[in-house]
Amino acid sequence: MKKQLFLTPMEGKQLIANALCENPEVLAAALEHTLVITAGTTNGFVAEALYRKLGLGEFDKSHFFRGVFTGRKLVPNIPAVDVIIRKGEVIEGKTIEDIAPELTAGDMIMKGGNALYLPGKQVGVAVGNPMLGTMSHVLPAVYGRRVSLLMPIGLEKRVEWPINELEAFCNAPDMDGLRLAMAPGRPYTEIDAFESVGVSAVILASGGVEGKEGAILFGLEGDEEALKKAQDLAG
């Protein structure tokens, strides 16, 4: 069976969050190891969903971000506290800077991204901090201690070039503005969320008006039960 589903970027974030709060790898990290959810708009939806799933209370995602694009510019380095869940309990008031040195194999970091090259499943992170910001703590954990890096990211952030090519372009000495870093993590998009319930998904069209700008029309295919699960997951 086939059907179409139209989702705005915000609805896509919620879809990703609803899927990830049922993801076995994520739940294992949160309940048996340490899960770090770094501040970001998509991750705010994930944290909110996980708090409810694990019975941790309500989570306020309204200011859960660091740098954000607003208008034509990036507003960087907004103070934020990350979410750290260790063996089912929230560690309050900590950031990835505090906790990263303790992370080991079996632990997981969730971090959002700013650029998604879908064919190569590559994610780029905009860098405004000359000391590399959050990535300066992520990289040693991932490369040095085999910590898993999962990157929830909406398909509205698709780019046309491989991230390493964009990285070289952005980081050239004669360029101004933001830098770009390719992250060594696995992206998790709306397509992954649909696939988690046994539905294949393809982008049919994009765009809209009156608040639907950036929305995506998905083509879904699966059996009746799987398509119902996909619809429920999307809310």
CATH of the domain at 93: 3.40.50
The 10s digit of each residue's pLDDT in 171-200 is: 999 999 899 999 999 999 999 999 999 999
Which pLDDT value is given to residue 71? 59
Q: What range does the domain containing 38 cover?
A: 2-234
The 10s digit of each residue's pLDDT in 89-138 is: 999 989 999 999 999 999 999 999 999 999 999 999 999 888 998 999 99
Side chain identity at 20, as an amino acid letter? L
Number of domains observed in the structure of the chain: 1
Which pLDDT value is given to residue 160? 97
Which pLDDT value is given to residue 78? 60
Which pLDDT value is given to residue 81? 86
Which pLDDT value is given to residue 70? 64
Continuous H helices in 96-158: 96-99, 135-139, 145
Q: DSSP readout, 177-198?
A: S-EEEEESSEEE-HHHHHHTTT
The 10s digit of each residue's pLDDT in 46-73 is: 999 999 999 999 999 988 988 666 655 5
- 178 by Cβ neighbours in 10 Å (0-12 / 13-18 / 19+) ranks as middle
Residue 158 confidence class, pLDDT cut points 50, 70, 90: very high
Which pLDDT value is given to residue 79? 60
Q: How far is CA 192 from CA 12, 27, 163, 200, 228, in A?
A: 11, 16, 20, 9, 16
Q: What is the pTM of this model?
A: 0.94
Distance of alpha carbon 156 from alpha carbon 135, whole angstroms: 22
Which pLDDT value is given to residue 28? 98
